[in-house]
Amino acid sequence: MVSKELAAAREYEEREGAKVSREERPAYHFSPRIGWLNDPNGLSFFEGKYHLFYQYHPYNSWWGPMYWGHAVSDDLISWEYLPAAMAPDTEYDGAGCFSGSAMILPDGRHLLMYTGCSPVGMDAEGRWRQTQCVATLETDENGSREYVKFAGNPVIADEELAEDGDIYEFRDPFIFTAKDGTYRAVVANGRRRDSESFSNSGAQLLMFRSNDAFSWEFEKVLFEDNRRIGVMWECPNFFFLDGVQVLIASPMDMQAEEANGSVRFPQGNNVCYILGIYNEDKEEFIPYKDNKGNYLYQPLDGGLDFYAPQVMKTPDGRMVMFGWMQDPSMGMLHEPDEFRIFGQMTIPRELSQKDGRLYQWPVRELEKYRKDLVEFSGVELGEEEISLPGISGRVLDIELEVKPKTVSFAGTCSLEEFDMRFAGNDEFHTEIRFRPDSSVITIDRKDSGQAENITRRRSIRVGSREGSISLRILLDRWSAEIFVNNGREVLSVTYYTPLEADRISFSAYGSAIMDAKAYTIEL
């Protein structure tokens, strides 16, 4: 039976979502039916369709009590909205149905595992109790199918926590099948404020075990952040890829880490990954370390807007990742009256591992939506800004190869800086800058008309290619995803420049040669 809260949300999203025109949405990035979107959840392939669930507040474009929105796709690009799957409608999740994952049970049922936030039993700081819950897709006697919350929820609560675990910082289960066919869930957890370990150690990721995905017991602490990189590791992902084990998490409230004119991790909320070895028999994760014994944490996206990614394995064996294309601390600074929807996902990215790094690339399915190729070769760039015929607009897939016009035997080159401006007019623009001497790329939106207190720029170091750089840039009305050197680095950014600002231009300090391809994207 559908609760009154879920029924009301479905009626609202159908009525109000129908009023949102295609022009109010990103053209090819996923956005909510109506209202606010954040984390991707429950990514899975079920009954011949890709399923995307997402954190969702339908009633306005601000964060609010979390529902689970739902959409399906044949190809990961073009999505069909389905009715919201879950609402905060029980005592254990009445403050919100928070993030989680999905799997297919042996009997064919689709299972969702998520965090329930309860307003009952809040602590003195007003924090909600957080427990882990499950729901399964069930069919009633009339043939109606609904995600039904398990009568035994919550399935992981206080009594299953590690000794020093904090029930108020306990969320985002990532479920997977173990070597022996039973189930494991990796869950983010902070330490109790009154525990001895709180002051001298950081976040921890806990592993739980189940024979049936409904009855769970604490197994072990899978990973401890003894370096204190953030105070809470949200949205963990734990998977095998190209010969290594990968742990992805979203640390909150990190201290900035800068070096050589670039930022490895900025102040605030970030996403990092660690590669290592996983002994399945002992269920032991051994992260790689540097020669000083420190874990080799690496940033997953060097841009301004990326958080809470989730991965899934496609039927053909690819590991694909969605991310929420927003800095969670910056998302609250938009002007809500201008938007009936707010929030979008990144394009799903295919992941690969090479030489100790994760590479990311837009899923190949996007290419079938490319139209109207425009191509230039050997364009000479100097200090005067130029635009190229046919390369303008706010919805494009652009490929660039930029190299110095000359490189000496000593290794010095004629290119001091390459600049690309987009979403521009005489008043606004967002900019990409690349300096070969330092191998630093910068994304800068200070002239995009956004609030003064929104982070404006970020610089990261990229792999050196003798002064050259390869870029693939996905522009979609209010966002850009920038893939550098075949996906070795990625920068994601949002901006809310008026759509009439559609100029794209290029320039260089020194001299450079550029090859360019551009496609429009049509769904």
- Catalytic positions: 39
- Name beta bridge partners: 520: 371, 396
By the 8 A CB rule, do 332 and 455 touch?
Answer: no
The answer to whether 485 touches 465, Cβ cutoff 8 Å, is yes
Q: Classify residue 353 as exposed, middle or buried by CB count within 10 Å of its CB (0-12, 13-18, 19+).
A: middle
Q: CB–CB of 262/232 below 8 Å?
A: no
3-state secondary structure of 325: coil
256 SS3 class: coil
Contacts made by residues 327-330, CB under 8 angstroms, sequence distance 24+: 327/268, 327/269, 327/455, 328/38, 328/269, 329/268, 329/269, 330/304, 330/305, 330/454, 330/455
Which segments of 196-326 are extended strands (E)?
204-210, 216-224, 232-241, 244-252, 257-259, 262-265, 272-279, 284-287, 298-299, 307-313, 319-324
Type and span of the H or E element at 15: helix 4-17
For every residue of 393-436, DSSP letters joined together read SSEEEEEEEEEES-B-TTS-BSEEEEEEEEEESSS--EEEEEET
- Edge-first strand listing for the sheet containing 457-461: 457-461, 440-444, 430-435, 415-424, 503-510
Distance CA 380, CA 405 (A): 8
Strands (E), 430-477: 430-435, 440-444, 457-461, 469-476
In a 3-state reduction of DSSP, which class is residue 187? strand
Closest CA to 162 of 219, 77, 109: 219
Please name every residue paired with 483 in a beta bridge, in sequence order, or none if there are none. Answer: 472, 490
Per the listing, tokens 């991707």 go with 40
- Give the rounded distance of the alpha carbon of 108 from its chain centre: 28
Q: Identify whether the C-beta of residue 187 lies closer than 8 Å to the C-beta of residue 173.
A: yes
Structure tokens at 7: 């029924």
Residues 28/369, Cβ–Cβ less than 8 Å: yes
Which H or E run includes 374? strand 370-381
Q: Residue type for 488, please?
A: R
Distance, in Å, from the CA atom of 391 to the CA atom of 421, rounded to the nearest integer, reads 12
Between CA 176 and CA 45 the distance in angstroms is: 14
